[in-house]
């Protein structure tokens, strides 16, 4: 142990930086023989996965050995503005998240990327590793300058990754929308940092921590941060890029964006609201909570009606981000009333859910990648029955599906359990009305979690179960071994966190200690959690798993022993109807129909129904986002109109432009003198 702590105090930060630099090096090496798939995919990507493991390991080291922050100054940057870096518990936790999920994604990507799919593999390798490294740097940054540089690198590298298949117009459009939203968000962040330095013009986070802001300016900074990070994370109504960009990108990239990049936005929100602004008045928390809950419900409802498997997962990401921000808002709210323990509980729920979501959502996105490679189909209407052709992918995806649905004893359940426990304690908030409204948030969380189950049955049932909806699916093949290893790694993470929840909460304790100065109660064993008090609530993942497994095993043995195991294979009974075609199954549209029916006002539905005497009847239904037509298109029209108005200035004559320059100079001189 002594050796480890020596490592922490001297070299953990250096080691992380070296690992990040080697990610960049790997990326550059990809260019050496950029078209040799054996070199790029089979050698460099596994190396990147190893480095990711190292990053995760160092994250654990920084979380377990004291919570002292390490800082350093890099010899890069502008002459009088060097890059500051810092490794504390919060960044350590997100490095753990980044590394553990990133390792699985990289191993999978090693088997996934192949030639002839848009960008050359070597270039892809560069973009991929720059993306990983920039996310790590965002987490490590200790001044606004490095933070913004890394943030923009992250946005740009992911933009190039999204547009891997840049010849398809749809993907170009999705990429452009993503870039636009990324920059609108980045502008808000720039303004936010502009407020945060509090007039000192020092851009290090240390000086921002020390700066005293008036309540109005602090609120402005908080709102700008919520807008900026919300645009990156996909909070409603800034979510529109997410369901476009995630499906457009290759699956490992979708997994990285959804699993990792959205969490980096969560990191930024935590860093600014808790660390730099020291949390604020209670309405900050209330606002974040309300936005989070709205986003969660919105995402779940929209996920239920999607017909494209990756769009479905993208909306489900919006839902999960909503839950994370709701927990974060609850933490802010409780902290404002100085209820430290409750704030720690909510924050732990947020962080654990972020980690869980990174694992199971990456797993599912990668599984869709395998399905996509095997079938060349993304539409749920043309899939089905793949559990028989792709047993490995189907089994591993089942773990992700059950985790996402929040079922015990997997990891998704643990974080939702923590969140509900946090809501349970909210009636003790010492503020009238708040203590009545906030507990009702539990109802929204419960509804969202239950809807997630619906969505997941649809996702898994339509893709992997039933009969194949297209004859070509009979040729589908299972994923290669590298892909399986990647999927298995993530599935293992889902199971381990579910069964040993206290181990994950131990990692989080460092973060809550650093940010809030307190931690939740430690459970008696790694598999037994009791965050507030044993008498109030406890959950034991391992025993629950063993209990269920024990009952199942006993029942199996009893049935086989007392009776028999005889099986006769027969055609499906189907209530006696002999003809059974794949078209008789529920389609994805059909499965979403009840939700469309119930939540009608959420959607903008365009429907074409044939008349009764149509010879070739065609049904068409398109479900759109109301925000798109109600908010974004009018906004785009206003921008277009303003641009038209400004084009009055563009006369196309040199003399007029010279006149503009002259007038500008005069005005500036008046100012200066």
Partner 1 sequence: MNALALVSQLGGVVLAVALAPLLAGWVAQCRAWLQSRSAPSLLLPYRTLRKLFRKDAALATQASPLFRAAPYAVFGAMATAAAIIPSVTTDLPLARVADAIALVGLFATARMFIALAAMDIGAVFGSMGARREMLIGFLAEPALLMVLFNAFLMFGSTALPTIVKGTLDADGLTLHPSLAFAGVAFVMVLLAENARIPIDNPGTHLEVTMIHESMVLEYSARHLALIEWASWLKLFNYACIGFTLFVPWGIAPHTAGPLGLLLAIVWLLAKLAVAGAVLAVIETVSAKLRIFRAPEFLSMAFLLAVLGLLVHLLLQS
Q: Which residues, numbered 354-393, are part of the site for partner 1 (CB under 8 A)?
A: 384-385, 387-388
| β-pair partners for 85 | 72, 141
Of the candidates 446, 609, 659, 665, which one interacts with partner 1 according to CB under 8 A? 446
Residue 430 C-beta: closest distance to partner 1, Å: 10
SS3 label, residue 410: coil
Q: Which is nearer to partner 1, 440 or 636 (CB)?
A: 440
Interaction between residue 127 and partner 1 (CB under 8 A): no
Question: Please, which of residues 489-528 interact with partner 1 by CB under 8 A?
Answer: 528
Interaction between residue 294 and partner 1 (CB under 8 A): no
For 506, the token pair is 């131990």
Nearest-angstrom CA–CA distance, 175 and 241? 9
Window contacting partner 1 (CB under 8 A); options: 71-79, 83-91, 124-132, 404-412: 404-412
Taking phi over 0 as left and psi of -120 to 50 as alpha, with beta for the rest, 546 belongs to alpha
Picking from 554, 426, 413, 574, the residue whose alpha carbon sits closest to that of residue 494 is 413
Taking phi over 0 as left and psi of -120 to 50 as alpha, with beta for the rest, 166 belongs to alpha
Of the candidates 10, 200, 475, 536, which one interacts with partner 1 according to CB under 8 A? 536
Of the candidates 264, 494, 539, 625, which one interacts with partner 1 according to CB under 8 A? 539
Question: Please, which of residues 81-120 interact with partner 1 by CB under 8 A?
Answer: none
Interaction between residue 427 and partner 1 (CB under 8 A): yes
**CA dihedral for 124, 125, 131, 134, sign (positive or negative):** negative
Q: For residues 136 and 23, is the Cβ–Cβ distance under 8 A?
A: yes
**How buried is residue 115: exposed, middle or buried, by Cβ count under 10 Å (0-12/13-18/19+)?**
exposed
Of the candidates 32, 168, 440, 642, which one interacts with partner 1 according to CB under 8 A? 440
Window contacting partner 1 (CB under 8 A); options: 68-76, 272-280, 318-326, 535-543: 535-543
**CA dihedral for 326, 328, 334, 336, sign (positive or negative):** negative
Secondary structure (DSSP) of 50-80: HHHHHHHHHHHHHHHS----EEEEEEEEETT
Residue 409 C-beta: closest distance to partner 1, Å: 9
For 513, the token pair is 């200690």
Window contacting partner 1 (CB under 8 A); options: 31-39, 73-81, 263-271, 401-409: 401-409
CA 347-351-353 angle, 5° bins? 115
Residue 2: how many other CB atoms lie within 10 Å: 6
Q: For residues 451 and 323, is the Cβ–Cβ distance under 8 A?
A: no
Window contacting partner 1 (CB under 8 A); options: 170-178, 474-482, 485-493, 555-563: 555-563
Interaction between residue 549 and partner 1 (CB under 8 A): yes
Question: Please, which of residues 450-489 interact with partner 1 by CB under 8 A?
Answer: 450-451, 453-454, 456-458, 460-462, 465-467
Residue 554 C-beta: closest distance to partner 1, Å: 9
Interaction between residue 557 and partner 1 (CB under 8 A): no
Q: Which is nearer to partner 1, 215 or 572 (CB)?
A: 572
Interaction between residue 543 and partner 1 (CB under 8 A): yes
Interaction between residue 621 and partner 1 (CB under 8 A): no
- Work out whether strand 620-625 and strand 603-608 pair parallel, antiparallel, or are unpaired: antiparallel
Count of residues interacting with partner 1 (CB under 8 A): 83
Using the structure block, give the residue that is written with the tokens 């909460």.
505
Q: Which is nearer to partner 1, 568 or 620 (CB)?
A: 568
Interaction between residue 341 and partner 1 (CB under 8 A): no
Q: For residues 103 and 489, is the Cβ–Cβ distance under 8 A?
A: yes
Residue 356 C-beta: closest distance to partner 1, Å: 14
Q: Which is nearer to partner 1, 216 or 535 (CB)?
A: 535
For 19, the token pair is 């690992």
Residue 410 C-beta: closest distance to partner 1, Å: 9
Interaction between residue 654 and partner 1 (CB under 8 A): no
Nearest-angstrom CA–CA distance, 250 and 227? 27
Q: Quick one: DSSP state of residue 308? A: B
Question: Please, which of residues 594-613 interact with partner 1 by CB under 8 A?
Answer: 594-595, 597-598
Interaction between residue 436 and partner 1 (CB under 8 A): yes
Residue 585 C-beta: closest distance to partner 1, Å: 5
Interaction between residue 548 and partner 1 (CB under 8 A): yes
Residue 518 C-beta: closest distance to partner 1, Å: 20
Q: Which is nearer to partner 1, 1 or 567 (CB)?
A: 567
Q: For residues 332 and 391, is the Cβ–Cβ distance under 8 A?
A: no
Of the candidates 72, 194, 408, 480, which one interacts with partner 1 according to CB under 8 A? 408
Window contacting partner 1 (CB under 8 A); options: 361-369, 477-485, 539-547, 602-610: 539-547
Using the structure block, give the residue that is written with the tokens 């606004």.
144
Interaction between residue 439 and partner 1 (CB under 8 A): yes
For 507, the token pair is 């990692």
Residue 45 C-beta: closest distance to partner 1, Å: 32
Window contacting partner 1 (CB under 8 A); options: 371-379, 567-575, 603-611, 647-655: 567-575
The contacts found for 519-528 with CB under 8 angstroms, 24 or more apart, are 519/344, 520/341, 520/344, 520/345, 520/348, 526/500, 526/502, 527/499, 527/500, 527/501, 527/502, 527/503, 528/502
Overall residue count recorded for the chain in this entry? 673
**Cβ-based neighbours of 22, under 8 Å, separated by 6 or more:** 51
Residue 413 C-beta: closest distance to partner 1, Å: 5
Tell how far CA 236 is from the center of its chain: 14
Residue 488 C-beta: closest distance to partner 1, Å: 18
Using the structure block, give the residue that is written with the tokens 């999927």.
487
Interaction between residue 406 and partner 1 (CB under 8 A): yes
Query: Roughly how many angstroms between the first and final C-alpha of the chain, as a whole number?
Result: 65
Question: Please, which of residues 568-597 interact with partner 1 by CB under 8 A?
Answer: 568-575, 577, 580, 582, 584-586, 590-591, 593-595, 597
């Amino acid at each position: 142990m002594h050796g480890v702590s020596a490592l922490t105090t001297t070299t953990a930060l250096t080691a992380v930086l070296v690992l990040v630099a080697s990610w960049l090096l790997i990326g550059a090496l990809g260019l050496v023989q950029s078209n040799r798939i054996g070199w790029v995919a089979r050698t460099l990507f596994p190396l990147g996965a190893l480095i990711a493991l190292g990053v995760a390991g160092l994250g654990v080291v920084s979380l377990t050995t004291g919570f002292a922050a390490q800082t350093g100054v890099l010899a890069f940057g502008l002459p009088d503005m060097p890059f500051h870096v810092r490794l504390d518990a919060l960044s350590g936790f997100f490095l753990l998240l980044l590394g553990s999920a990133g390792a699985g994604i990289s191993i999978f990507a090693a088997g996934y990327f192949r030639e002839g799919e848009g960008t050359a593999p070597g270039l892809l390798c560069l973009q991929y590793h720059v993306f990983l490294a920039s996310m790590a740097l965002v987490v490590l940054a200790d001044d606004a300058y490095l933070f913004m540089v890394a943030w923009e690198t992250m946005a740009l590298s992911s933009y190039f990754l999204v547009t891997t298949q840049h010849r398809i117009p749809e993907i170009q459009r999705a990429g452009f929308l993503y870039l636009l939203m990324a920059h609108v968000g980045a502008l808000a962040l720039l303004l936010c940092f502009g407020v945060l330095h509090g007039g000192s013009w020092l851009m290090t986070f240390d000086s921002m921590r020390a700066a005293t802001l008036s309540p109005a300016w602090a609120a402005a900074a908080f709102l700008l941060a919520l807008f900026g990070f919300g645009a990156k994370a996909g909070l409603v109504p800034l979510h529109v890029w997410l369901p476009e960009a995630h499906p457009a990108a290759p699956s490992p990239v979708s997994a990285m964006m959804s699993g990792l990049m959205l969490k980096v936005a969560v990191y930024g929100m935590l860093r600014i609201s808790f660390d730099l602004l020291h949390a604020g008045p209670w309405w900050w928390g209330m606002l974040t909570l309300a936005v989070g809950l709205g986003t969660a419900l919105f995402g779940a409802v929209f996920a239920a009606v999607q017909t494209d498997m990756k769009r479905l997962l993208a909306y489900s990401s919006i839902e999960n981000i909503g839950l994370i921000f709701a927990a974060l808002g609850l933490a802010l709210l409780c902290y404002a009333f100085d209820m430290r323990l409750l704030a720690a509980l909510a924050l732990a729920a947020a962080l654990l859910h972020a980690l869980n979501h990174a694992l199971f959502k990456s797993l599912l996105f990668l599984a869709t990648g395998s399905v996509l490679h095997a079938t060349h189909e993304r539409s749920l209407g043309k899939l089905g029955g793949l559990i028989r052709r792709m047993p490995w992918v189907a089994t591993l995806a089942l773990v992700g599906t059950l985790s996402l649905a929040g079922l015990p004893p997997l990891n998704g359940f643990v974080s939702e359990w923590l969140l509900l426990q946090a809501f349970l304690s909210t009636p003790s908030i010492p503020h009238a009305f708040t203590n009545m409204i906030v507990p009702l948030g539990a109802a929204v969380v419960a509804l969202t979690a239950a809807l997630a189950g619906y969505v997941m049955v649809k996702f898994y049932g339509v893709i992997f179960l039933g009969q194949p909806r297209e004859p070509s699916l009979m040729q589908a093949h299972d994923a290669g071994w590298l892909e399986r290893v990647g999927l298995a790694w993530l599935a293992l993470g889902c199971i381990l966190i579910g069964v040993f929840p206290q181990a994950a909460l131990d990692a989080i304790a460092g973060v809550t200690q650093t940010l809030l100065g307190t931690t939740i109660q430690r459970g008696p064993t790694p598999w037994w959690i009791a965050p507030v008090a044993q008498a109030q609530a406890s959950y034991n993942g391992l025993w629950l798993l063993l209990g269920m497994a024990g009952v199942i095993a006993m029942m199996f043995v009893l049935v086989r022993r007392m009776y028999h195991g005889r099986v006769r294979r027969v055609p499906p009974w189907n209530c006696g109807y002999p003809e059974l075609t794949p078209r008789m199954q529920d389609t994805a549209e059909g499965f979403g129909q009840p939700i469309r029916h119930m939540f009608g006002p959420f959607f903008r539905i365009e429907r074409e129904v044939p008349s009764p005497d149509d010879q070739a009847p065609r049904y068409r239904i398109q479900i759109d986002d109301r925000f798109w037509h109600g908010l974004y298109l009018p906004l785009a029209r206003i921008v277009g109109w303003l641009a038209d108005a400004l084009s009055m200035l563009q006369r196309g004559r040199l003399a007029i432009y010279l006149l503009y320059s002259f007038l500008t100079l005069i005005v500036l001189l008046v100012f200066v003198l």
